[in-house]
A and B are shown apart, each in its own frame.
Chain A
Amino acid sequence: MEKAPKYLQIFVVVYLVFLYAPALLLPVFAFNDSTIISFPLSNFTFDWFLGLRNESALHDALGNSLLVALSSAILSTCLGVLASRASARHEFFAKKSIISFLLLPLVLPEIIIAVSLLVVLSQMGFALSLWTVVLGHTLVCMPFSIAILTSAFNNMDQSLEEASFDLGETGWGTFRRVILPLVAPGIVSSLLITFTLSLDEFIIAFFLTGTGATLPVYIWGQLRFPNKLPNVMALGLLLLLFSLLLLSVGEYFRRRTKQMAGTDSFTGD
């Protein structure tokens, strides 16, 4: 491969610094013994992390977020399984358009989704609650589920299903004994990634939440109090690490789906 020109290499470095430097400030100030977020740094401390233990509002928000993230992850993955299975195995009217519409929230600005959901839900007389947030999150998470699961279903050799059917198994039995085990890594990956997305999502949660705030909404609220800023930094760092962990595990499972599917290549003996 040809080596990239110098100016492109510099561009990439600048780009990456611009993208990640702010996030790198999180760990720096999370351990800094001063309420003011600025250089020079003073002493090293764990106080901001320890302080998080006493914030009961934070604990409520964390509980809310976990509930919302878990519900959205399960809902969007279930819907994703249905949609992916349908698109991978069946032909139906306007298939391409329908799939495109399902993937639309991927490119639609979240603020538009949030505002329109708010308008529709209040017009229909729904009270805002965590469940309205789950609804919104499911909508934006589903395209990710569909994208991950469609490749999992597509990678599966269709004759495996036919073989199962041929050996006397029913449709449901085939799903349970063959399809599910083979797409399981895809499902785990989808659950983890949508969970992370929902956990970090702010705009929709901000608009659709009722009385109970989710974690990002809580953090937003905390920004009004300058002396709480180091706490927020500490919390942000924990969230960042947790998200990275979930995404890595999710990616591991997504790759395993691909490996599982590569079963048709073999050598003669």
Chain B
Amino acid sequence: MPKSIDAPTNGVIVDLNKVSKYFADVPAVNGVSAQIREGEFFSLLGPSGCGKTTLLRMISGFEQPSSGSITIAGVPMEDVEANERPTNMVFQSYAIFPHLNVEENVAYGLKRLGLSKPEMLKQVNEVLKLVDLSGYNKRPAQTLSGGQRQRVALARALVLKPKVLLLDEPLSALDKKLREQMQIELRHLQRTVGITFILVTHDQEEALIMSDRIAVMLDGKIAQLASPQELYSRPVSKWVASFIGVMNFLQGDLFRDGGDKLSVDAGILGKISLNQEQIPVPVATGPVTIGIRPEMLTVLYDKNSTAEFELNAVIMESDYYGDMTYYTVKVEQSELVLIVSMRNTAGRTVLKEGDKARIGWGSESLVILAESTSSE
């Protein structure tokens, strides 16, 4: 989404301090520290079993940390039960009460607050309007579709004006089209209400689209915590790079050329001098892994077009996605295999297996990756 993101305030709403959770001696979450800012859309992203859901459940109060502490809005949560916390959750299954209608579901938490009937109804209607379910008040829960259930779950949580809204894989039960629509809607909703959202997801695209910041988790630890752009362009490890999108990996040799400048010898790709931006984490000179995204490589269709670096290659495989084509190419006089993605703009022919192609790229598209991080 091209719209600019409101800068999150400096206030920290959720403070995780060395939080660990052990299930029968096996760590599900292992010493996670992070500060989630007021009003931001924060995602916990990782493969299944990485501890992201356990971390979310500890923030909500359904699980207690084995060690470490959680502070929400400045209040330590150690002795605060789930029903007392300023958080509300949207469950993966939505957990809509099947014996109640939409209005009763949304008013469920309000009933305890001792509001007058008209006031309660006013708040329910306001929040139903917010999630685009106006007029659905009397619909029985069991007649709702998946997308409608999700909206009811959102309304039911938002009507209580929590300081933090927790979302546990809220889109995974929806079909692709609806999921993509809800991603945009959720992001929009978060900006409208200004409440901190913490989203758990295993879908990297979803996290990139929706989040202000993403914590990529692996084996109970945060592998990298950064903005979507930072995460994509400057991954700290080979694992993060391959989890977020597609990345070509090459072996290279890092060396100091003269002064304090670093260069990398990338074999057939030549010797490339690097700037500081291209080395997200400090690496020692010597053998390193070089990463390059498929869209940073270009097929040079035009005989006259040139690039900073060029290679001759043969197309081994051509995967057509409609808007894009992914080519797997083998560099001539080398064993090197690269993935190149090209946008299928007007007049551009899709190359076939066995076609020859010139591949061009620029030195700034490389990134030097740490082979292993603390999380591997």
Give the B-binding residues of A (Cβ under 8 A). 157, 159-160, 162-170, 173, 177-178, 181-182, 260, 263-264, 266-269
The 7 A-B residue pairs with the shortest CB-CB distance in the complex, in nearest-first order: A269-B145, A167-B109, A163-B95, A263-B98, A159-B95, A268-B175, A268-B146
Stretch at the interface among B86-94, B215-223, B321-329, B340-348: B86-94
Q: Is the CB of B99 within 8 A of A182?
A: yes
Does B160 lie within 8 Å of A168, measured CB to CB? yes
In the assembled complex, the CB of B184 is this many whole angstroms from the nearest CB of chain A, namely 16
CB–CB A166/B83 < 8 A: yes
How far, in whole Å, are A164 and B107 apart by their CA atoms in the complex?
A: 11
Residue of A nearest to B178 (CB): A268
Main secondary structure of the interface of A (DSSP, over half): helix
Option from A163, A168, A177 in Cβ contact (under 8 Å) with B91: A163
B112 touches A173 (CB 8 A): yes
| Complex-state Cα separation, A213 to B206, whole angstroms | 72
The docked-state distance in angstroms from the alpha carbon of A182 to that of B157 is 21
| CB proximity of A90 to chain B, nearest CB, Å | 15
Kindly supply a per-residue 1/0 record for chain B positions 52-72, scoring 1 wherever the CB is within 8 Å of any chain A CB and 0 otherwise: 000000001010000000000
Instruction: Find out whether the CB atom of A268 lies under 8 angstroms from the CB atom of B145.
Output: yes
Give min CB distance, A178 to chain B, whole Å: 6
B181 to chain A, nearest CB (A): 11
| Shortest Cβ gap from B19 to chain A (Å) | 19
A170 and B141 in contact (CB under 8 A), knowing A160-B97, A163-B91, A267-B146? no
Residues A168 and B175 in contact, CB atoms below 8 Å apart: no
The 19 sampled A-B contact pairs (Cβ below 8 Å) are A157-B93, A157-B95, A160-B95, A160-B97, A162-B89, A163-B89, A163-B95, A165-B62, A166-B62, A167-B109, A167-B157, A169-B108, A173-B112, A182-B98, A182-B99, A260-B98, A264-B93, A266-B146, A269-B145
A contact residues around B92 at 8 Å (CB): 159
Residues of B within 8 A of A162 (CB): 62, 82, 89, 91, 95
Interface, chain B (partner A; CB < 8 A): 60, 62, 81-84, 87-89, 91-93, 95-99, 108-109, 112, 141-142, 144-149, 156-157, 160, 174-175, 178
Asked whether B95 lies within 8 Å of A269 as measured between CB atoms, the reply is no
A163-B95, A168-B160, A181-B99 given; A269·B148 CB < 8 A: yes
The docked-state distance in angstroms from the alpha carbon of A260 to that of B92 is 19
Cα distance A266–B178 when bound, in Å? 14
A214 to B112, CA, bound (A): 48
Note all chain A residues with C-beta closer than 8 A to B109: 167-169
A263 / chain B contacts, CB cutoff of 8 Å: 96, 98, 141-142
Q: Which residues of A contact B97 (CB under 8 A)?
A: 160, 163-164, 178
Which residues on A sit within 8 Å (CB–CB) of B95?
Answer: 157, 159-160, 162-163
Closest B residue, CB atoms, query A263: B98
| Cβ contacts under 8 Å, A266 to chain B | 144-146, 149
The answer to whether B89 and A166 have CB atoms under 8 Å apart is: yes
Give bound CA distance, A164 to B109, whole Å. 8
On chain A, the residues within 8 Å of B62 by CB distance are 162, 165-166
Residues of B contacting A182 with CB < 8 Å?
98-99
- Contact between chains at A260 and B99 (CB < 8 Å): yes
CA distance in complex: A173, B112 (Å): 10
Residues in B neighbouring A159, C-beta threshold 8 A? 91-93, 95
The CA of A159 and the CA of B91, in the complex, are separated in Å by 7
Report the Cα distance A159→B90, complex, angstroms.
10
A40 to B255, CA, bound (A): 114
For residue A66, give the distance in angstroms from its CB to the closest CB of chain B.
Answer: 31
In the bound assembly, the distance between CA atoms of A266 and B174 in angstroms comes to 10
Q: Give the chain A neighbours of B88 by CB distance below 8 A.
A: 166-167
- With a cutoff of 8 Å between Cβ atoms, the chain B residues found around residue A177 in the complex are 108
Residue of B nearest to A166 (CB): B89
Residues of A contacting B148 in the complex (Cβ-Cβ under 8 angstroms): 269
Within 8 Å by CB of A165, from B83, B93, B156, B175, lies B83
Task: Report Cα–Cα, A27/B81, bound state, in Å.
Answer: 62
Q: How far is the CA of A263 from the CA of B91 in the complex (A)?
A: 14
- A160–B142 Cα distance when bound, in Å, is 14
Residue of A whose beta carbon sits closest to that of B176: A268
Report the minimal beta-carbon distance from B185 to chain A, rounded to whole angstroms.
13
Q: How many whole Å from B161's CB to the nearest CB in chain A? A: 12
Beyond A160-B98, A260-B99, 17 extra complex contacts between A and B, CB < 8 Å: A159-B95, A163-B91, A164-B108, A167-B83, A167-B157, A168-B83, A168-B84, A168-B109, A168-B112, A177-B108, A266-B144, A267-B145, A267-B146, A268-B145, A268-B175, A269-B145, A269-B146
Most chain A CB inside 10 Å of its own CB: which residue of B62, B95, B96: B95
Closest Cβ neighbor of A173 among chain B residues: B112
**Most chain A C-beta atoms within 10 Å of own C-beta, residue among B89, B97, B156, B175:** B97
Question: For the complex, what is the distance from the CA of A167 to the CA of B93, rounded to whole Å?
Answer: 16
Inter-chain CA distance A165–B62, complex, in Å, is: 9
Query: How far does the alpha carbon of A264 sit from the alpha carbon of B141 in the complex, in Å?
Result: 11
Closest to A177 in B: B108
Residue with the greatest number of chain A CB neighbours at <10 A, chosen from B89, B141, B160, B174: B89
Nearest-neighbour CB distance to chain B for A149, whole angstroms, equals: 17
Q: Return chain B residues, CB-CB under 8 Å to A170.
A: 83
Within the assembled complex, what's the spacing in Å between the Cα atoms of A157 and B108? Answer: 17
